[in-house]
Amino acid sequence: MLVVGVLLWRAGFIQVTHATGWPALLDVAVLVLSLDLLMYVFHRVAHHPLLYRWVHATHHIYDKPRLLTLFALNPIEALGFGCMLILVCLVYPVSALGLSIYLLLNVLFGLVGHIGVEPLPQQWLRLPVLRFISTSTFHAEHHHDGRHNFGFYTLLWDKVFGTAAPEYSTDFGEAGQRTIQGHSPR
């Protein structure tokens, strides 16, 4: 998809600006929120019984997330994620700095979602904006129960569409610094 993106950029379909400062940070926010919505929808559709086996089952071979499970993707799924980024860049002129920061955040969120431990303190869920940011516990719950927690960067769309795991707050509080076993602590 990188080659397709470069070709679209060279042909003038994708506009990359040289903005820095606040405009670049706005680009990061636009990319994170728009791609979080698109990835939520794609992820939820990938769990449909007719598509799951062909698109997303490879990633769920592992019910206990670990770093390498981040990269266990079906090629269709990987292409889908690349197409989403290209789609957003086709309709929104993004700065090189904003895109670079977004791509760094994308890798960081993927790694945190699959580290198998909860590195964040219990107070995280009490902070107004931060409590809506996806955590290792949030994604581990999804690997254990594929009916919940489809978001990647935020919990926003899961809250809006009613797919957030009801035990998330409890599980997060109990996870602490111990290894997440891929199941809800009881």
**Residue pLDDT, tens place only, 123-178:** 888 888 888 999 988 888 888 888 999 999 999 999 999 999 998 888 887 765 44
Residue 91 scores a pLDDT above 80:
yes
Is 145 inside a domain boundary? Answer: yes
Residue 180 scores a pLDDT above 50:
no
pTM, two decimals, is 0.85
Residue carrying the six token digits 């994708």: 14
Number of independent structural domains in the chain: 1
Q: What is the pLDDT of residue 182?
A: 46
Is 131 inside a domain boundary? Answer: yes
Is 7 inside a domain boundary? Answer: no
Angle formed at CA 82 by CA 81 and CA 86, multiple of 5 degrees: 120
CB atoms closer than 10 angstroms to residue 71:
10
pLDDT in tens, 22-36: 999 999 999 999 999
Is 144 inside a domain boundary? Answer: yes
Spatial distance between the Cα atoms of 172 and 186, rounded to a whole number of angstroms: 12
Residue 81 scores a pLDDT above 70:
yes
- Domain span at residue 119? 21-175
Q: What is the pLDDT of residue 183?
A: 44
Share of the chain above pLDDT 90, in %: 51
Is 32 inside a domain boundary? Answer: yes
Helical spans, DSSP H, in the chain: 2-10, 22-46, 49-55, 75-91, 96-113, 136-144, 156-161, 168-175
Is 62 inside a domain boundary? Answer: yes
CB atoms closer than 10 angstroms to residue 95:
22
Tell me the backbone φ, ψ of residue 95, rounded to 5 degrees: -80, 150
Higher pLDDT, 71 or 134: 134
CB atoms closer than 10 angstroms to residue 79:
13
Is 13 inside a domain boundary? Answer: no
Is 86 inside a domain boundary? Answer: yes
**Weakest mean pLDDT among 40-49, 83-92, 118-127:** 118-127
Buried b / exposed e along 147-175 (16+ C-beta atoms within 10 A): ebbbbbbbbbbbeeeebbbeebeebbebb
